[in-house]
Amino acid sequence: MRILKIIKFITTITFISLTLSQISEASEAILKELAKEARTADIKFVQFSASTGEKLFRTERIHSNGEKISCMTCHTADPKKEGLTRANKVIKPMAASINPNRFTDMEKVQKWFKRNCNDVQERICTPQEKGDFVKYMMSIK
Amino acid sequence: MIFFRLKKEPLLLFILLLIFSSVAILKADDEAEEGEHHERGGKSEEVYKLNNRSSVVPVINQKFKSECTSCHMLYQPSLLPAKSWTKMMGNLKQHFGENAELDPAVQKEITNYLVKNSSNRFSSNQDVIRISETTYFKRKHDELSPSVFKRKGIGSAANCIACHSGAEKNDFSEENVRIPKETAGKIKK
């Protein structure tokens, strides 16, 4: 029976790691795609930085409507926690370690950067900023 | 980890996985079918009554649901006349102070769905886009002081489900209204 236990253990581990690796592969692919976009936008592009991404996430600014705003307004100061939209809908955590499905669908990533950068920064974000942001969210343990 | 507690062979894991995936596939099929029914059904004003006393639950367009309910509750198409929906959907760049831009094809599909199932109870020249500013809403809520809407458990008049728990299913019936008390705790999510 011992051998069966071992097989069971291996199967379980394989399942879990396969799923997780597929997910992290998907987010790596998104970073790669953003890097490509960044290179096209700026030939001097070197790499993405998680700490710059964190700064982007935390920096507050005054919106033209007079209100103080930042990513934290809806996502809270802790990306591992659930956020809340201004219309009372729960936003799943941003940190990929807590919510592995984050940053696995490029269409979704671009859609929300477009909307949220326009809302918070009142402009679109550069590919460098998007990559920094994603890298930060993927680096949180 | 539940897997480790299983006394049976790894085969069981595979069987479980098979069951889960077939359930998922069946569910997806159901949803696809729902969409088809809707297409075939066409416009059916009877289904979309504001005071829904019928047992018919309106069919929800899946794109509408997935795109429009990530930020706010599901507002039934019957809550506004066609003109209002068209106006609102034509300016998603500034959607109640937020950017809610959509892919043009998706925007068109959702607009069509909303218009097709919009209310026919408003006078045709009304194009208010805020539901709480419609004459109908105001008349229905005229006994409430504005401070009620500001209660912690409500937040604003846009949060229908705070008092009408069946709002997303088009149930606004008087008997199902529960107004949160002043001291209510968390905002209803």
Closest residue to A88, CB basis, from B6, B101, B155: B155
Surface-to-core class of residue B160, CB atoms within 10 Å of its CB (0-12 exposed, 13-18 middle, 19+ buried):
buried
Confidence grade of residue B28 (pLDDT, cut at 50, 70, 90): very low
The ranges assigned to domains in chain A are: 2-139
Closest chain A residue by Cα to residue B152? A88
The answer to whether B98 contacts chain A (CB < 8 Å) is yes
Residue A81 confidence (pLDDT) above 50: yes
Give how far A10 is from chain B: nearest CA, Å: 9
Give residue B20's pLDDT: 61
B1 contacts A8? CB cut-off 8 A:
no
Give residue B101's pLDDT: 92
ipTM of the complex as predicted: 0.74
Confidence grade of residue B155 (pLDDT, cut at 50, 70, 90): confident
Q: Which residue has the higher pLDDT, B166 or B52?
A: B166
Give residue B123's pLDDT: 62
pLDDT tens for each residue of B31-50: 433 333 343 333 333 334 44
Q: Which residue has the higher pLDDT, A19 or B93?
A: B93
A115 contacts B189? CB cut-off 8 A:
no
Closest residue to B10, CB basis, from A11, A87, A118: A11
- SS3 string, B78-133, reads HHCEHHHHHHHHCCHHHECCECCCCCHHHHHHHHHHHHHCCECCCCCCCCCCCHHH
Contacting residues of A for B17, CB less than 8 Å apart: 15
Residue B34 and residue B59 in contact, taking contact as beta carbons nearer than 8 Å? yes
Give the residue from B76, B69, B88, B167 showing the smallest Cα distance to B117. Answer: B76
Residue B122 and residue A135 in contact, taking contact as beta carbons nearer than 8 Å? no
pLDDT tens for each residue of A92-111: 999 999 999 999 999 999 99
The answer to whether B92 contacts chain A (CB < 8 Å) is no
- Percentage of residues in chain B with pLDDT exceeding 70? 63
Does domain A2-139 fall under CATH 3.20.190.10? My reply is: no
E strand or H helix at A18, and its extent? Answer: helix A2-41
